[in-house]
Amino acid sequence: MFSARKCSGGFRAIRPHHFRSHSVSRASPNLTFVPACLPPDPVEVEELQRFVSNSKRLFVMTGAGISTESGIPDYRSEGVGLYARTDRRPVQHAEFIRSASARQRYWARNFVGWPQFSSHQPNKAHLVLRDWEKLGKLHWLVTQNVDALHTKAGSQRMTELHGCTHRVFCLGCGDQILRSELQEHFEALNPTWKAEAFGVAPDGDVFLTDEQVRNFEVPACRKCGGILKPDVTFFGDTVSQEKVSFVHQRLAESDSMLIAGSSMQVYSGYRFALAAREKKLPIAVLNIGPTRLDHFASLKLNSRCGELLPLIVCT
Ligand SMILES: [Zn+2]
């Protein structure tokens, strides 16, 4: 049933012109969801500078920690992550596929959260990585995030490992539409339905009661009447083998690995760090709090991505 969906490495990203604005908010970063940390240590800055200067083909992997400075919470950070603050958990793949009411709940919440979630803008860290790509320093970027902020920043040499909430596809015929387009379908189908958004999650989810969800109408695929699903790897699903091989190839062409804003708890990303270790590539980790590869990383830095990365001179 899913074979109609062609999934490739980095080639299905939404092009930046689909976004109304590429600009970055000039306001100071929203640090509500950023764990407390000290300003970058000059020694650490120097070490990361050396690491980046020595790299000619840098492979970068990012996670939710790079987007917290854009005002999007992560799942796991101590105190400020979604898991620490709430008992909400993301939808499970099997449940979404199996249950019409699970899909209704998912889409009702996603519909309410969308205007705010889709309005988030890239921060300095996203822009630095975009610049490194332009300068030829960054060979490939892999993000575990589904928020499209790297695309909004203008990154192109990139794979969205877990997909992107800005795309929706049909489980029946594979037809793909933009999530923004679907918002209009939702509005047309639910002209009098209203609910307040609060506490948007890393995937655009918000909390609603069962009562609020009950009357929400979910559209089917316009081409075949099939089930619509965001182009996102839900928890309990796996990344396609084709995409995994594609990323392994990009990693094989790289000479070092930088992980930014991820504790790497999820295996779909962690496996690439294991592969980098096997190839004996230098690995730098920039993340507030412990990560799964602290014991074998060449360099571990506990700083905000948007604060430390702009200090690095790319040569
Ligand atoms: Zn369809």
In the annotated binding site, the residues are: 63-83, 144-147, 170, 173, 221, 224, 261-263, 287-289, 305
The pLDDT > 70 percentage for the chain reads: 83
Least confident among 79-93, 99-113, 239-253: 79-93
* 201, HSE (Cβ side, Cα atoms, 13 Å): 22
User: Is residue 267 pLDDT above 50, yes or no?
Assistant: yes
* C-alpha to C-alpha distance for 40 and 309, rounded to whole angstroms: 10
Tens-place pLDDT, residues 28-79: 567 777 777 778 889 999 999 999 999 999 999 999 999 999 998 777 666 6
Tens-place pLDDT, residues 109-155: 889 889 989 999 999 999 999 999 999 999 999 999 999 999 999 99
pLDDT score for 112: 87
How many Å lie between the centroid of ligand 1 and the Cα of residue 228?
A: 8
Q: Record the tokens describing residue 175, joined without a space.
A: 């037809």
Q: Which residues participate in catalysis according to the annotation?
A: 162
Q: How high does pLDDT run on average in the chain? A: 87
Q: 88 pLDDT band (50/70/90 cuts)?
A: low
Query: Burial of 70 by CB count in 10 Å (0-12 exposed, 13-18 middle, 19+ buried)?
Result: buried
How many Å lie between the centroid of ligand 1 and the Cα of residue 254?
A: 38
Diameter over CA atoms, the chain: 59
User: Is residue 16 pLDDT above 90, yes or no?
Assistant: no
User: Is residue 282 pLDDT above 80, yes or no?
Assistant: yes
pLDDT score for 2: 34
User: Is residue 256 pLDDT above 70, yes or no?
Assistant: yes
- Contact between residue 205 and residue 34 where contact means Cβ atoms under 8 Å apart: no
- Contact between residue 136 and residue 55 where contact means Cβ atoms under 8 Å apart: no
Pairing of strands 228-232, 256-260: unpaired
